Amino acid sequence: EKEKPRITAKLPVEGSVQRLLAANGKLIAVTLDGLIQIYGTGPKKGEIKPAPAEVLEPRPEAIARAKALLASLDDRGGYGLVFGWDDDGLVEALLAESEMRLAVIDPDPATVDRQRRRFDRAGLYGGRITFHVGTPVTFQAPPYVAHLVVIGESSAAAFREHSEWISAAYQSVRPYGGALRWPDSQVPEAAKDLEKAVVREADDARLVVREGALPGAADWTHQYGDIANTVKSNDARVRAPLGVLWFGGNSNLDVLPRHGHGPPEQVTGGRLIIEGMNSLSARDVYTGRVMWKHDFGDLGTFGIYYNETYADTPLDTAYNQKHIPGANGRGTNFVATPDSVYVAIGGECRVLDARNGEQVKTIPLRETPDDPAQWAFIGVSDDLLLGGDDFSHPSMRLGGAKSREESTIEDYSASHGLAVFDRKEGRLLWRATARHSFLHNGIVAGNGRIYCLDKLTEHGEALLRRRGTDLPKDYRIVAFDAHTGEVAWEASENIFGTWLGYSADHDILLLAGSKASDRLESEAGDGMAAYGGGKGNLLWRDLKRTYTGPCILHHGSIFTGTNSYANSGGVFDLLTGRPRLVTNPLTGKEEPWRLNRTYGCNTIVASEHL
C-alpha cells in the first residue's frame, strides 16, 4: 500500500501567495504585491538588490529648449510622440520638465535597443518612456493622442522624402492646441495644408499647431446639451459606424451612482467634465486621461443625486443605489464652458479654471453672507451666468414644513426667482422674482432672451388642494431681455406642462412635458404648443397629444422619447405641429415616424447624424 500524503515541512512566506512555480530544484512563490520568494537547498544567498539607477542629466541648452516648448502647450501632462532619436538631450529634458509620457519611434533597431536599456537603467522605461521600431506610417499611433509630436532633426530628410509621414504624424496631434515640432524653419509644404494646422515660430524650429476643435465637432453642455434644452449636440463629425478610441485607464470611483441619475457629463474644449460624490474631474476625451480633479468636501447633493440607499460597493454587480429622479428633477448643479466650470454650492457659484480645475472665483448669490438662499438653477448663455434665486421649496411655502431638511426632490425642481450675472466679472446684472416658481426644466435662453415657465410644481399644486385652495389662474411663460431683465413678452393662456425647449435657428419656443421613467412622477406627458420666440405669438397648440419626453429639437423636427420596449409618440414638424411621416420599407405606405427602444436608463439624446 502506497504511503498517504503528509506534510513534511512548513515554510514561512511574506504576503499572500498567488502562484507557485517549480523549476531547477527550486520552489518559486509570487505574492499578490509582486514579491518573488525562492525556496531551495543550499546556503542563503541574501537579498537581491537592484542596481543603482543611472541618472540622466540633460544639458542646460536642452532644458531651455524643453521649457520653451512646453510653455507653448496648455498641458504639461498627457502623451508625446518623438519620431527619430537624436542625442541632443531634448527627450531627457522633456521628461525632467514635464509630467508627459513619451513614445520614441525610430527605424533603427540597434538605436531602439540601446536607448531602451539606457532608460531602463535610469528607472524610466515603461513608465515615462518607451521606444519602438518603425516610422510614422508603420507605427500607426492612435489619432489625437499627443499634446506634443517632435520630429527629430535626423529624421527631417526622411520626412521630406516621404510626404505621407508628415500627415501620419500630424494625425496623432491633439485638437485644441496640440503641436507638432519641426526641427528647423523649413516646414514642408504638406504640413501647411493639414486639417486646422497653423504654423508658428519657435526659436530656430517651427510648431505646427492644431488649433481649436476638429471640423464639425461640437460641445455638450448643461443638462440637455445646451442652455436651450434642445437635447441635441450640433456635432456633425461623428457618424455611424462607431469604433473604440480608448478604454480603461481611469478609476470608476469619481463618478456618481448611475441610478441616482446625477448630471450627465459635459464635453467642451476637448475635456469631459464629470461629477463624483463630492468632486468634479476632467477627462481628456481623446485618451481618457484624468486631467484634473477638484474635491469640494461636500457638494450638498445627498438626497438629490444619491440618498440613504447608496452602498459603496463599486465591484458588486447588484444595484448600489435605488432609482431616483436626481438631476432629471433638480437639474444639473454645474455647467462647463471652454474656459471655466461653474458649480452651484449652497448660496454661491464657484468658478474653476477649465484647464486645471483650480478655483479662480466665487460669485455669491446674495450680498449678505448669512442669507440662507441657495443657488438653485444654473446655466450659461454667452457671457451671462444664470442663477436660480433660491429653490422654490413649496413644502415650506405651502405645506407647513419647518426647515429645508424636510424638503423632497420636488422642492429642488424649481427656483423662487432668477439672478443673472456677468460671468467674467461676477457682477449682478438683474433679478426677477417668479409669481409662483420657475421650473428648472422650463428655463432656456437664446437670441438675447431668457424664457421661464412660471407655475407651481405638481407638488405645490397638491399642497394647495390639500388645503382646499383653488389653483392659480395666472401661470405664464415670460420672456426676459437677457442683458437688462426687461420683460419682452408674456403668454398666459392655457399654460401647462413642465418643459421648455428653444430653437435658435427657427426662433421658436416649445412648451411641452417630459414625462418618462426615472423622472419626477409629476412630469407632464400630454400637450404641446409652439410660440414665436421674439413676440410670443402662438404658432400652434395640441393639448391632446400624448408622448414621452424630453423632446429633442433637431432643426425643424421634434423627436419625442420613449420608455423601454415601447414606441415613441412620434416625430413632429416644429413649425406646424403636424406629424412627420416615413415610408414603411415593408408595405411601401406612409406612416407616422416613431422610434423604438429596448431596455435602457435615462434620456434619448441626439447629434446631427445620430
Return the closest-CA partner of residue 452 out of 473, 482, 408, 494.
482
DSSP string for 356-390 = T--EEEEEESSSSTT----EEEEEEETTEEEEEES
Q: Give one word for 252, left, alpha or beta, with left for phi > 0 and alpha for psi -120 to 50.
A: alpha
User: Is 27 inside a domain boundary?
Assistant: yes
User: Is 424 inside a domain boundary?
Assistant: no
| H or E, element range at 192 | helix 189-192
Give every residue of the chain whose pLDDT is below 70, as ranges. 1, 46, 406
**Cell matching residue 492:** 398666459
Is 144 found in the same domain as 106? yes
Quick one: how far is CA 436 from the chain centroid?
33
User: Is 189 inside a domain boundary?
Assistant: yes
Is 202 found in the same domain as 67? yes
Is 11 found in the same domain as 98? no
User: Is 407 inside a domain boundary?
Assistant: no
Q: In DSSP terms, which residues pair with 207 in a beta bridge?
A: 181, 200
Task: Give dist(CA 343, CA 295) in Å, integer.
Answer: 12
pLDDT value for 475: 98
Q: How many CB atoms lie within 10 A of CB 496?
A: 17
**Cell matching residue 152:** 527629430
Task: Give dist(CA 357, CA 258) in Å, integer.
Answer: 23
Cell 515660430 found at: 201
Q: How many CB atoms lie within 10 A of CB 151?
A: 29
What is the DSSP code (8-state) at residue 19? E
Q: What is the pLDDT of residues 503-532, one digit of tens each?
A: 999 999 999 999 998 898 889 899 999 999
HSE (side-chain half, CA atoms, 13 Å) at 317: 0
Is 78 found in the same domain as 192? yes
Q: Give 235's contacts (C-beta < 8 A, 6+ positions apart).
A: 216, 217, 218, 220, 607, 608
CA distances to 227, 401, 524 from 447, in Å: 11, 40, 27
Quick one: how far is CA 364 from the chain centroid?
25
Task: Give dist(CA 27, CA 495) in Å, integer.
Answer: 80
**Cell matching residue 461:** 399644486
For residue 118, the domain's CATH number is: 3.40.50.150
Is 30 found in the same domain as 166? no
Given 175, 210, 245, which residue is the final one in a domain?
210
Task: Give dist(CA 11, CA 19) in Å, integer.
Answer: 15
User: In this structure, which amino acid lies at residue 560?
Assistant: T
Task: Give dist(CA 548, CA 551) in Å, integer.
Answer: 8
User: Is 549 inside a domain boundary?
Assistant: no
473, with CB counted inside 10 A (0-12, 13-18, 19+), is: exposed
DSSP 3-state assignment of 534? coil
DSSP alpha helices (H): ranges in 379-478? 394-397, 458-467
Q: What is the pLDDT of residues 453-501, one digit of tens each?
A: 999 999 899 999 998 999 999 999 999 999 999 999 999 999 999 999 9
User: Is 255 inside a domain boundary?
Assistant: no
Number of residues written out for the chain:
610
User: Is 43 inside a domain boundary?
Assistant: yes
DSSP 3-state assignment of 180? strand
DSSP string for 98-142 = ---EEEEEES-HHHHHHHHHHHHHTT-BTTTEEEEE--HHHH-PP
What's the structural domain count of the chain? 2
> Range of 1's domain?
1-49
Is 139 found in the same domain as 45? no
Task: Give dist(CA 56, CA 457) in Å, integer.
Answer: 66
Tell me how many degrees the CA angle 217-220-224 measures, rounded to the nearest 5. Answer: 145
Is 161 found in the same domain as 78? yes
Is 71 found in the same domain as 32? no
Q: Give 28's contacts (C-beta < 8 A, 6+ positions apart).
A: 20, 21, 22, 36, 37, 38, 39
Is 21 found in the same domain as 123? no
Is 75 found in the same domain as 147? yes
Given 210, 225, 249, which residue is the final one in a domain?
210
Is 37 found in the same domain as 77? no
User: Is 343 inside a domain boundary?
Assistant: no
Given 186, 210, 234, which residue is the final one in a domain?
210
Is 100 found in the same domain as 66? yes
pLDDT value for 398: 84
Contact 489, 462 (CB under 8 A): no
